[in-house]
């Protein structure tokens, strides 16, 4: 299980179930592509919001290398961010968001565990 400097894990088809669906806490999943400029701009905002909240995990899925996962969750636009809890998607947004909106999204996902 690889992780970047912020503690996000890079999820693959082989690891997604364990890292995301079977997680005991909510997980925010950032579906991205390396060529996607909005994805590159949003990534540090998501990382910061998840770190600040502390109640959720963060996984990243590269849609170019994990096309089946992208298809499974109907990812057609980037960036797409999906919150999972209990093995199910519980919230999502598509496109850029302001840091305050991302923080609110992370809070909403975290509160699904209550």
Flag whether the pTM goes above 0.85.
yes
Take residue 73 and report the two structure tokens written for it. Answer: 């969750």
What is the pLDDT, as a whole number, of residue 57? 97
CATH class of 9-111: alpha beta
For residue 66, give the 3-state DSSP assignment. Answer: coil
Provide the annotated active-site residues: 36, 39
Question: What percentage of the chain reaches a pLDDT higher than 90?
Answer: 91
Question: Is the pLDDT assigned to residue 74 strictly greater than 80?
Answer: yes
What is the pLDDT, as a whole number, of residue 113? 86
Could you tell me which residues come within 8 angstroms of residue 54 by beta carbon, excluding any fewer than 6 positions away? none
What is the pLDDT, as a whole number, of residue 17? 97
Q: Where are the domains of the chain?
A: 9-111
**Run of H or E residues at 83:** strand 80-85
pLDDT tens, position by position, 38-73: 999 999 999 999 999 999 999 999 999 999 999 999
Please state, in angstroms and rounded to a whole number, the distance separating the CA atoms of residues 105 and 2.
25
């Amino acid at each position: 299980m690889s992780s970047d400097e912020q503690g996000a894990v890079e999820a693959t088809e082989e690891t997604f179930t364990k890292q995301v669906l079977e997680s005991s806490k909510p997980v925010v999943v950032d579906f991205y592509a390396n060529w996607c400029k909005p994805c590159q701009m949003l990534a540090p905002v998501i990382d910061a919001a998840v770190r600040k909240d502390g109640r959720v995990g963060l996984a990243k899925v590269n849609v170019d290398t994990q096309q089946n996962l992208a298809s499974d969750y109907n990812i057609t636009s980037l960036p797409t961010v999906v919150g999972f809890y209990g093995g199910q998607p519980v919230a999502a947004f598509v496109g850029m968001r302001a840091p305050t909106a991302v923080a609110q999204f992370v809070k909403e996902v975290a509160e699904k565990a209550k």
